Structure 1
Amino acid sequence: MSYFGRKLRLSRLLYGEQSAGLIVPIDHGLTVGPIKGIESTQQIQSWVGNPDISAIIAHKGMLEKLILADAIPSSTGVIVHLNGMNSLFEDADTKQLVTDLSYAVQLGADAVSIQVNFTANNAAHNTRLLGAVADKAHALGIPLLSMVYDKVDAGDLESVERMRSFIRMGIELGSDALKIGFPKRIEQLEHLLSAADDSTPVFFAGGEKGDENALINKAQAAMSYGAKGLCIGRGVFQSDNKEYILSRLAKVLKSSAAQPTATLGYFDQQQAV
């Protein structure tokens, strides 16, 4: 029976009837402190209700404050992030659970998320964490978004193959959705995404704030090969014009969701929106 609850809640992370979503994480504060764009709760309140945001990801404390301030519209999906570690510590990539799933449910979560950064030394920790959280989330009927990153410095081809393995690992252990980074070369997207499956939506991370036209082009490419949307924090909340970049990204995601998958000539045909 839990499958029906997970399916319904997962749909709340997307745009209405659209099979695409723009998820904005604001969980960075635990990791790196009050960076530009999320210096204070009040600053986040000023933009987090934008209708072009289909869902947000937050740690429990920030979510409590935003709920108290009535800052989150009923149309916006809510994902509670369950683990973390401050970047000041040597083992920052081995993230620990900081919230229980039952408390996330009490907060009104539509989904939960965890981040697993694979280094050369923490594979066992990450594997246990993914499996255990997926089991409990499924028992409660809550979808799990797994953020999977490879922190081992590898060449282009090896990096893609490692990420293909991690994508499959997330699927095998019960992730209901995945967040991954863009490959080093955009033409590797098709091969990377071929490791996923239709029942496990993939959202692409934005990474550090960069050129917005380049981000739009990468979003178009990802959607053309079957991604379900974006999970972008700094590219949104550090923008000088948040409403504009959100509207551009939402336009790409909504229009691309209804288009057929890319042909081999896709990258030669695209221009910035």
Structure 2
Amino acid sequence: MGTIKRMNHIFREDGNAIITAFDHGVNSGPMRGIEHLDQALKTVIDAGTDAVILNIGMARKYEALLGRTGLIVRADFPCTDYARGAHDSILCVAVEEAVKVGADAVLFNGGPDISGEDIELERTMIRIISTLRRECEQYGMPLLAEMVPGGFNPPQEYINIDSLKLAARVAAEAGADFLKMPYRPGYEEVVQGCEGLPIVVLGGAKTNSQEQFFANIDDAMKCGAHGVAIGRNIWGHEHPDRVIKLLKGLIHEGENLETAMAHLG
């Protein structure tokens, strides 16, 4: 009981969601755009984001700001940016703790070991998803699996359609309720291979080409994605509210890419 109701706090009636990710501080510190998190949150919430991703401490601190906005709490923490070459994360938050701060889903980062040299990455992923799935079932809590081939912040060459298809299917087989995954051309194969689980497209690094970034999102939606989970390319933009308006056009209002891009001004 509760899983569907909580999912409806994240996804609109059209089945899609705009999720703004604010969980970067646990590994990258007070980055420009989230150094004053209360202000950043208020901006995107007022603009109409459907949900936000927060770490447990910030979810507790800024509960009053969230209002009716969906809340996804990260359950695992990666190493900081100083730990180069580390691609796994550690389970740090119990589902019961997420319940207490009013979460509508919990999130973890997992990924198959594409390199063939980091078996501990896969063992860690299996432990985390198994633990969270059991706890989520007890509380009626949706489980969001951020499935990135190669794990947290991997080399980009690890991410291709075949590795994405594998990662998505692993999460579906293990019991996730929805997925957060990178985009690559041919995304319909990823969507078709995960047995109907909704996929939201993760934003990744700050883009150098706005046109290509939003064109990728437009294509992902046409391939069957159900929205986005974006951080730096929203709150790192000069006008985060305009980015949200653009995304609303693409994801909820059926605008074509050219019309939606005009919202950036």
TM over 0.5: yes
Q: Matches of 1:18 and 1:166 in 2, distance apart?
A: 26
Spell out, residue by residue over 1:66-98, the C-alpha distance to the aligned partner (whole angstroms, 9 max, x if none).
11xx22122x10111100122322564210112
- 1:174-222: per-residue Cα shift (whole Å, max 9, x none)? 0000000012xx2x22223221232x11000111121322222112111
- Residue 213 of structure 1 contacts residue 272 of structure 1 at CA under 8 Å; is this kept in 2? no
Aligned residues: percent identity? 23
* Equivalence map 1:126-165=2 (5 Å): 126-151=125-150, 153=155, 159-165=160-166
User: In the alignment, residue 174 of structure 2 is paired with which amino acid?
Assistant: L
Superposed displacement of residue 270, structure 1: 6.7
CA positional deviation for 1:155: 5.8
Q: Compute the TM-score of the two structures, normalised by the length of structure 1.
A: 0.84
CA distance in 2, matches of 1:250, 1:87: 32
Cα shift readout 1:100-123 (whole Å, capped 9, x = no counterpart) = 110110111111111114444111
In the other structure, the counterpart of 2:122 is: 123
Q: How well do the aligned residues superpose, as a CA RMSD in angstroms? A: 2.2
The residue number in structure 1 matching 2:226 is 228
Structure 2 match to 1:180: 181
2:25 to 26, 29, 37: 29
Match of 2:195 in 1: 197
Tell me the residue number matched to 2:66.
Answer: 72
Structure 2: how far apart are the matches of 1:201 and 1:217? 20
Match of 2:76 in 1: 83
Q: Report the counterpart of residue 108 of structure 1 in structure 2.
A: 102
Letter in 2 for 1:84: F
Q: Distance in 2 between matches of 1:154 and 1:63?
A: 30
Instruction: Quote how far apart the aligned CAs of 1:272 are.
Output: 6.8
Taking structure 2 as the reference length, the TM-score comes to 0.87
CA distance in 1, matches of 2:149, 2:168: 11
Is contact 1:41-1:65 (8 Å) kept? no
> Aligned residue for 2:206?
209
Give distance in 1, aligned partners of 2:54 and 2:167.
Answer: 24
Question: Could you tell me how far 1:154 is from its partner in structure 2?
Answer: 7.8
Give yes or no for the alignment of 1:57 onto 2:53: yes
Whole-angstrom distance in 2 between the partners of 1:272 and 1:189: 23
The one of 89, 96, 102 aligned to 1:95: 89
> Which amino acid is 1:209 matched to?
K
Amino acid at match of 1:194: Q
- Residue-pair matches, total: 250
Q: CA deviation at 1:163?
A: 1.6
Alignment map for 1:5-16 (pairs within 5 Å): 5-15=2-12
Q: CA deviation at 1:251?
A: 1.0
The change in CA–CA distance for 1:61 and 1:201 in structure 2 (over 3 A counts) is same
Distance verdict in 2 for CA 1:153–1:41, change over 3 Å: closer
Which residue matches 1:47?
A: 43
Unaligned runs of 5+ in 2: 261-265
- Do the aligned partners of residues 255 and 127 (structure 1) sit closer, same or farther apart at CA in structure 2, a change above 3 Å counting? same
2:111–2:167 CA contact under 8 A, matched in 1: no
- Mapped to 2, the partners of 1:55 and 1:192 lie a distance apart of 23
- Tell me the CA shift for residue 25 of structure 1: 0.9
2:44–2:240 Cα contact (<8 Å) kept: no
Task: Quote the residue 1:168 is aligned against.
Answer: 169
Aligned residue identity for 2:103: A
